[in-house]
Amino acid sequence: MKTILHKADQRGHANHGWLDSYHSFSFAGFYDPAKVHFGALRVLNDDSVKAGFGFPKHPHDNMEIVSIPLYGDLEHRDSTGRHEIIRQNDVQIMSAGSGITHSEMNANKDKEVKFLQVWVFPKAQDIAPRYQQKTFRPEDRQNQIQTVVAPNNSEAVLINQDAWFSLGNFSKDFKASYALNKTGNGVYAFVLEGSLTVNGQTLNKRDAMGVWETGSIEIVANSDSAFLLIEVPMQIGEAA
C-alpha cells in the first residue's frame, strides 16, 4: 500500500474577490510538481463564488468535469443549449469530449455558492459531449457510503472513465470499509467536514489522502463528519 497526504493548508489558494478558490492540484497560478495529479484525478477545486458572479463561457475538451454544490445554487449553460440549476445534494457531470463551451454562475442574488469542481482524465477520447445531473438524498449517505458517479451504475451519474465518486456522512465513532471497484485504481479521500481517520492517518476538514496499491481502506469518524471519496485509475497513459 502507498499513500500521499495533502493537508488543507498546503493547497494552492487564489482570492479574486468574486471567487475564492483552493486547489488540491496544480491549477492556474498554482504549480507544485508533487501535486500535478493523482492518477486520472487532475483537478479538485474548492470554490466559493459571490452572488451575481461566476465563470463566463469558456471551452473544454477531453475531460470529465464533475460539479458538486456544497451550499447555494449553481447555474449552468453550455453550447448544446442546455440551461440547468445545480443545487445542494445534486451532482453534475459534463463529458467535454470533442469540445464544449459552458458557463457556471452563482444562481443566487443574496448568498454565495460553494462547490467542488473535479476534473478526471477520460477513458475514451473525442466522444460526443454529454451532460447529466442527479439529486442524491443525504439520508442515503448517513453512516453509509453513497455512490454518486460511476461508469456502470444507473443510480449514479455516468463517467467516461473507470472511476467512482462516493459521499459519506458519518456519526462520531462510526467505522466502515471502502472496497475499491477495480484493481489498479487508487482512492483520494477528501474531508468536507469534521475529522476522520483513514488507514490510521488523522484527516481534518479539507485534508486529503491518496491511497493506492490496496484493495480497500478503513474509515473511522473522529467526529460527525462528511467526506468525498474519488476512486480513479492510477495509470493514465492513454489519457495523458
Sheet strand arrangement including 2-6: 2-6, 208-212, 185-193, 225-233, 164-170, 145-150, 157-158
Query: What's the mean pLDDT when you consider all of the chain?
Result: 96
pLDDT band at 239 (very low <50, low <70, confident <90, very high): very low
Over 80: is that where the pLDDT of 57 sits? yes
pLDDT digits (tens, 9 = 90+) for 105-124: 999 999 999 999 999 999 99
Over 80: is that where the pLDDT of 237 sits? no
CATH of 2-233, one of 3.90.1150.10, 3.90.550.10, 2.40.50.140, 2.60.120.10: 2.60.120.10
| Torsion, Cα of 199, 204, 208, 212 (10° steps) | 0
DSSP class per residue in 122-155: -SSSSPPPEEEEEE--GGGGBTSEEEEEESS-TT
Over 90: is that where the pLDDT of 73 sits? yes
pLDDT band at 173 (very low <50, low <70, confident <90, very high): very high
54-60 and 100-106 beta bridge pairing: antiparallel
pLDDT band at 81 (very low <50, low <70, confident <90, very high): confident
Residue 80: its pLDDT value, please?
86
Residue 106: its pLDDT value, please?
96
Residue 223: its pLDDT value, please?
98
State the average pLDDT over residues 202-228. Answer: 98
- CB of 93 within 8 A of CB of 73? no
Residue 236: its pLDDT value, please?
83
pLDDT band at 238 (very low <50, low <70, confident <90, very high): very low
State the average pLDDT over residues 36-61. Answer: 96
pLDDT digits (tens, 9 = 90+) for 28-47: 999 999 999 999 999 999 99
Residue 83: its pLDDT value, please?
94
pLDDT digits (tens, 9 = 90+) for 127-168: 999 999 999 999 999 999 999 999 999 999 999 999 999 999
